[in-house]
Amino acid sequence: MAPSVPERLLAVDLSSGSVESRPIPDEWRRRYVGGKGLGARYLYDELDAGVDPLGEENAILFMLGPLSGYLPEESRYAAITKSPLTGCFLDSYAGGEFPDSLTGALGSHMGLLVTGVASEPVHLVIEDGDATITPAETWGADTVETARAFPDASVACIGPAGEQQVAYATVASDGGEHHAGRGGAGAVMGSKRLKAIVARGDPPDGLDDLREAYAAKYRETATGRWLRTSGTVETIDFANEIGALSTRGWSDGQFEAADELGITTVEDRAVDREHADTTEPGGFRVATEDGDHVPRGATAMTLGAGLDIQDFDAVAELGQTCDRLGMDLISAGSAVAWTINADAADVLDRPLSFGDADGARALLGEIAERESALGDALADGVEAAATRFGGRDLVPTVKSMELPAYDPRGAQSMALAYATSDRGACHRRARPIEREAFDGDWGADRTAAEVIREQDRRSMLWSLIADDFFGDALDDLGRAWLESIGLDPAGGLAIIGERIWNLTRLFNVREGVSREDDSLPAALQEPLETGPRAGAAVDRDDFDSMLDAYYRRRGWNEDGVPTTRTIDRLDLTDLTDDFDPLHD
């Protein structure tokens, strides 16, 4: 007997304390499937334009998908809200044990919608398809301590950064090992006085034959072999080799100590690898003074190369600091780099230099607790700090989100990927750098086509929900999966991602996003000083040509607004009743 797809949404109003089980409209399930797509549709419906992301009227969704609990080994959930960092649509993802537990705990519900603000800090306990609001005795604890308070459950929680509503606070699960990281979903939880979601449940059984076929196919993909060998910790080696590793506050493209932080060192220093005998990526554990830490690629790239910290232990400890505080380490590392650059430019009087791990760690604490005027300003992002103190463009941002460490001057397709990302600067929406670095100059049309293809594909995968790494094995099995659970998405898999990408664009357009926001960070027009790409910069005219080609291929007008023809083709006409920015 085929497993049933959850057809309901569990809605919790923290202001009133009410809990309600709502049916999901059948047409929404067909058009948007689940995960990112369905969460985006609910967010569009729940919010009016201009809602304060940290105000009572914002909502946050914790979404699963029709494949949640059935894919082998690696599950994901999506945290979906309006970002306090960018003011735009935000979807952020985390894996580990929590998504499986949430799948079992929610029962017939595909997700959780949280609105309102609690009168005091609370936990939200999910069990047997229902939710209970309880006082949060863990308020003030870090992410590891909070998880330890519930040894019989899986926990997604905020740390001190979320409680202080740091604009890039994370939602941490599995004791801080996994994070819904970018854009500040943790700050939204903090604004609602929601400390943790506690899930008690087991993932569903079924689809064993398809699960086995999927796992076998994945093991044979290039991505599967790569992740089993190294996981994302090898990305510093790759970016450094091609000269696209942002180093010393975006001044250089290559880091002379990359080997000290890369895969070989991680393998030598690892005390354990949790998933060594499976197809699941990651899981390297290294010892620090505060216990084991699981480093990710961004740890070495942003906190190591970006801050010119060459000692492996110091970088691992900085990563663990961010994890326990519940703070996105990409934005946090950029905040430290901005401070160093600002001091050097006489914008600030804050003695801090590249290579100073102790100084960086102290500043991270100031940010998470908003303990100083500088920490308070940086807690709202580097653009907010620049507005208060000066020093704009000392590190690059897009839509107020700090860039990851893949430098577009080393592969200019990343400039377009960052600029057009629906949640701000993000390398997970599209990583054309992985191919362009070996293919040479693509030109505007091919760059636009490649970026669009990846954006649409990942939107589809994140609506199922399947991780984009594991998606390499999903294409020809995707239809079989959906048929097995009785779901026939409107238009088929190919059009799902495009429809959802245009849905999030409409959300952002309603918030005032235009071509001006899909802009080129000025810092990227400054040439790299070292490395294989020394002297390279992103040319504004070339970038404008790529953006024009992107808009044409998307079916958007010259200001980046989807046209009526595109809206009609994608069956999104019901979204545009309250505003009329569309042009053929």
CATH architecture, domain defined by 8-200: 4-Layer Sandwich (3.60)
Listed residue (511, 506, 508) closest to 576, CA to CA: 506
Closest of 91, 77, 76 to residue 43, by C-alpha: 91
Closest CA to 521 of 439, 387, 385, 414: 414
The class (CATH top level) of 208-379 is mainly alpha
SS (H, E, C) 56-125: CCCCEEEECCCCCCCCCCCCCEEEEEECCCCCCEEEEEECCHHHHHHHHHHCCEEEEEEECCCCCCEEEE
CA of residue 427 relative to chain centroid, distance: 9
Distance separating alpha carbons of residues 252 and 527, to the nearest angstrom: 9
* DSSP 8-state symbol, 534: T
DSSP 302: I
- CATH 1.10.569.10 in the chain is located at 208-379
Angle at 103 between CA 101 and CA 109, to 5 degrees: 140
3-state secondary structure of 161: helix
Nearest to 70 by CA among 488, 458, 492, 486: 486
> Which amino acid would we find at residue 569?
R
| Tens of pLDDT, residue by residue, the chain (584 residues) | 456 778 999 999 999 999 999 999 999 998 999 999 999 999 999 999 999 999 999 999 999 998 787 776 667 899 999 999 999 999 999 988 999 999 999 999 999 999 999 999 999 999 999 999 999 999 999 999 999 999 999 999 999 999 999 999 999 999 998 999 999 999 999 999 999 999 999 877 766 676 677 677 766 666 655 555 556 777 888 888 888 899 999 999 999 999 998 888 887 887 766 555 544 445 677 777 777 777 777 899 999 999 999 999 999 999 999 999 999 999 999 999 999 999 999 999 999 999 999 999 999 999 999 999 999 999 999 999 999 999 999 999 999 999 998 888 888 888 999 999 999 998 888 878 777 767 767 889 999 999 999 999 889 888 888 766 666 556 555 566 666 656 666 666 778 899 999 999 999 999 999 999 999 888 898 888 877 888 889 999 999 999 999 999 999 999 999 999 999 999 999 987 655 555 55
Which residues are CB-neighbours of 103 under 8 A, at least 6 positions away?
64, 68, 69, 75, 201, 203, 204
Q: How many beta carbons lie within 10 A of that of residue 438, not counting itself? A: 9
Amino acid of residue 503 = L
> In CATH, which of 3.40.470.10, 3.40.50.10150, 3.40.50.2000, 1.10.599.10 is domain 413-575?
1.10.599.10
Query: According to CATH, where is 1.10.599.10 located in the chain?
Result: 413-575
DSSP state of 583: -
Residue 234 in 3-state DSSP?
A: helix
Please report where in the chains the tokens 């991602």 appear, as a residue: 497
- For the chain, residues classed under CATH 3.60.9.10 are 8-200
